[in-house]
Amino acid sequence: MSISPELDAFDRAILAILQKDNATPQRAIGEAVNLSAPAVQRRIKRMEETGIIRANVALVDPAKVGHPITIFVEVEVESERAELIDAAKRGFAAVPEVQQCYYVTGEADFILVVTVATMADYEALTRRLFFENNNVKRFRTFVAMDRVKVGLEVPVG
């Protein structure tokens, strides 16, 4: 893993713009932060190469592509042996319906964010992920009633 370079005020301003709309033309970014478009391009390239910018993706509305239900799941495992935790991480990460997976402290061992089309789909997913997994001790489900704020924007100021 490479060491991230120090971010100056220009880098932080560029990141703030890109996190809101990564399709913003480099010329427009340059005008907003008082840099030339080539300077903006070099800075973005460096931040991509060093892993500060991990990906350029489209944020898709799950409801508009047939996955209107968002569910949060607390998962508690039987054993916290390293190889079993690693297996759980790999298993959860491999499931397309699992949008996010966090290994956490506290009563639960994992918090998952899941999106599904129907509750029947979620029930089928629980059978595959939890009931058929001997290391899952218990899980608790929280169904989102409304997506009040959703995003992955990181404060850079």
138 is written with which tokens? 């218990």
Which of the four pLDDT bands, split at 50, 70 and 90, describes residue 4?
low
Does the predicted TM-score (pTM) go above 0.85? yes
Under 8 Å between Cβ of 72 and 24: no
Q: Please, are residues 82 and 141 in contact by the beta-carbon 8 Å criterion?
A: no
Reported as type and span, the H/E element at residue 121 is helix 119-126
Q: Which residue, 38, 47, 61, 42, is CA-closest to 19?
A: 47
Q: Please state, rounded to an integer, the average pLDDT across all residues of the chain.
A: 95
How confident is the model over 61-100, as pLDDT tens digits?
999 999 999 999 999 999 999 999 999 999 999 999 999 9
Choice among 10-14, 48-52, 71-75, 149-153 with the minimum mean pLDDT: 149-153
